[in-house]
Amino acid sequence: MTLAVKAVGIRKSFGSHEVLKGLDLEVAYGEVLCILGPSGSGKSTFLRCINHLETPNGGYVWVDGAIMGYDLARGALQELPVKRLRAQQSQLGMVFQHFNLFAHRTVLGNVIEGPMIVRGLSRTEAEARAMALLDQVGMAAKASSYPSQLSGGQKQRVAIARALAMEPRVMLFDEPTSALDPELVGEVLEVMRNLARGGTTMIVVTHEIGFAREVADRVVVMIDGEIRENGAPQQVLSNPGDPRVRTFLSRVLA
């Protein structure tokens, strides 16, 4: 088991409100980890700390042999220049709750943007790869549409293709189905299920207990900025030790 991500003592506060109270987490390559928890428990903030969309106030994240945002020099963490931080961030694919597709670009334009601008691929090569990815998520037919012409589920599938186009080591999903109409949730979960089967390392913040039970290798339950449960889905979801986790699960499973 090779580690892909190791979070060490992550703390984050917004003003005087402490959102994350020192979290530790390890994710191995090929593993699918689902993070569950009630609203406001800090799970999205934790995910955003992992790829430094939010800078932690304390602790650090190690990804694939490097500390996110820092160099370890003479026993201290030296902040990296923004260009090197971005290079690290591009190793972590991110899928947002609200898709965040580039509104002024077509579906294809969204997917080729990163590979062309950040990785320096030629347009021909970037487009060929993008079309393969769009085919994989079932969106090849919409390559020349604009995001405003797509349904939520279609947007999210394009967003997944856009993140995959950077060939990231790990895929992060921030409540990918929470903004979708109920009948569109299935198509996005199907794409994610296929990714998991293909061996993609995934950290998924979600409310979909069924997805976690079926797809996840491990489930983490966060409550009030702390990890309360961390284990196999069967064990965590069926027989949680922590009383507050029991309360949370009984509410969402009801």
Site residues (vs other proteins, CB under 8 A): 51, 53, 82-83, 86-87, 89-90, 92-94, 96, 98-105, 113-114, 117-119, 146-148, 159, 162-163, 166
Cβ closer to other proteins: 100 or 235?
A: 100
DSSP characters over 93-112: EEE-TT----TTS-HHHHHH
Cβ closer to other proteins: 41 or 89?
A: 89
Q: Closest separation between CB of residue 27 and other proteins, Å?
A: 17
Query: Is residue 26 a contact partner of residue 8, using CB atoms and an 8 Å limit?
Result: no
Q: Closest separation between CB of residue 97 and other proteins, Å?
A: 9
- Among 173, 35, 21, which Cα is nearest to 96's? 173
Query: Is residue 5 a contact partner of residue 27, using CB atoms and an 8 Å limit?
Result: yes
Residues 6+ apart with CB under 8 A from 90: 114, 118, 119, 166, 168
Cβ closer to other proteins: 10 or 245?
A: 10
Q: Closest separation between CB of residue 22 and other proteins, Å?
A: 25
Cβ closer to other proteins: 64 or 229?
A: 64
Backbone torsions φ then ψ of 38, nearest 5 degrees: -65, 165
Q: Closest separation between CB of residue 169 and other proteins, Å?
A: 13
